[in-house]
Structure 1
Amino acid sequence: MEWIDICFNLTHESFNKERDEVLERAREAGVSWMLITGADAHQSEKCLEIADRYPDCCRATLGVHPHLAKQWTDAIAARFSDLARADANVVAMGEMGLDYNRDHSPRPQQRSAFEAQLELAADLGLPVFLHERDAHHDFAQILRRWRDKVPAAVVHCFTGEADALAEYLDLDCHIGITGWVCDERRGHHLHPLVPRIPRGRLMIETDAPYLLPRSLPKGTGKKIGNGRRNEPAFLPHIGEYVAKLRDETPEDLAAHTTATARAFYNLPETAGV
């Protein structure tokens, strides 16, 4: 089986000393491509450096996360534009969007940075990688204004309710599902929603090092801080869990989610997986 992880925070410090080993474990698990996700200007450039170093399995996104929206400037927009035009390993803009759960940046600045990044993606002709938490109404309202101007959009780590899922599908968005769905404390509401995502719109992701699936055996993952680290090698576990919810075989789910991610990000075929 071949898998594609559409969100991997490889710039996280916990991976600094063992990137080669982490990527090798992912490949051994059947993960052929990993999308390295940008969250601010500096980290986005680092994502691209990593993608350029590992072009056989990594691609990069450039973006400013809503938590850091107060950092957004015209200079960052110009830098992202230059990078995306110069390097084909940039395959999407993001992580961008709205997060009203923590409000690390003021909401007006979140909305402004989100709209500015959608405008930049439209100008570059790149898909968008989106973050939304507790901000469905404002998020959908902004996205609706730009949806027909960007080639594709994925709402990553979807954790919302049925009405949000329906609206995002109506907006022709793809949906990313993480190990959140494996969490017995807070993921059960997603179980009846996951089968509603049509084939061709569903992609899966680890969001590593975050969101280690709680359905993995206790002690899985390297210990970091007060928890344990997720990594792309655990993506097949998420895929098998999602396949069961959808009454599909893991092989079928791997095939259609991989085909979807490959088309969304325009990824080449990968030999040997």
Structure 2
Amino acid sequence: MQTMESDIYYIDFDKSDTEDTTGPQTPNNHQDEGKAQKCRGSRCLVLMTVCLGLICVLLLVFISLYITITAERDLLKSYKNTFEEFNHTINSLQDNYTDLMTENDQLKSNFSFLSQKKLELETRVTSLSEELEKEISKQGFLWGADGLFISSESMSWSDSRKFCRDQEADLIIINTEEKQRFITALFKERVWIGLSDAETEGRMKWVDNSPLNQGFWYKGEPNSHGGNEDCIVLHPTDTSLNNWHDYPCSHKMTCICEK
């Protein structure tokens, strides 16, 4: 029986449909196909590497842009906050300035009011002083809050004492340093006080007949100059606390009366 030989066909199921799969295949064709597949794999690997590199570059660019934008956004936010604080400070200063101007206007108004009141008071004081001077000239003396008064007319020592008695008082008695200091500071002219040695030369007595225990004599006083200086004068113009002088009782000067 005769055996018939058949042609052997190799079918590559991995081939593309566009390739001819019906023709006979040889070993050289297999090698070429393997090389082609290797080349395509290498190109795919390079392409994938390039794509991955581009993605990495794009990712780096994106990250850089994100960081830059974030930094600029934070900086802009910081600028905005600074600007708002600056505006707030300006508004606060403007409010303070307005308050200060209001207070300044109020102070000016108060000053004007007080100046007017001062002028009115000065006018009133002048008027009262004039009335007081007229009253003094009518009565001849001025009472003080401490029961002292000074005559407005100059008189002899005896007339001064009579004047004081007519006012239900008498010439002042100065028997303490505090009182001497007070009278010296209170009056600015020579005045009679209630001390004399008219009855007995050299024996000073007060108008209530009490003896002199402490005197405030000026240096060299009493000296009874001329033999007729028997009445005592307080001389406030002397700077020292010791300012008593003996004078002739007939001299005329103002006096201090004391209730």
**Bigger relative contact order, structure 1 or 2 (CA pairs below 8 A, ≥6 apart):** 1
Higher Cα Rg, which structure: 2
- Of Structure 1 and Structure 2, the greater helix share is in 2
The two structures have a TM-score, normalised by structure 2, of 0.21
- Of Structure 1 and Structure 2, the greater strand share is in 1
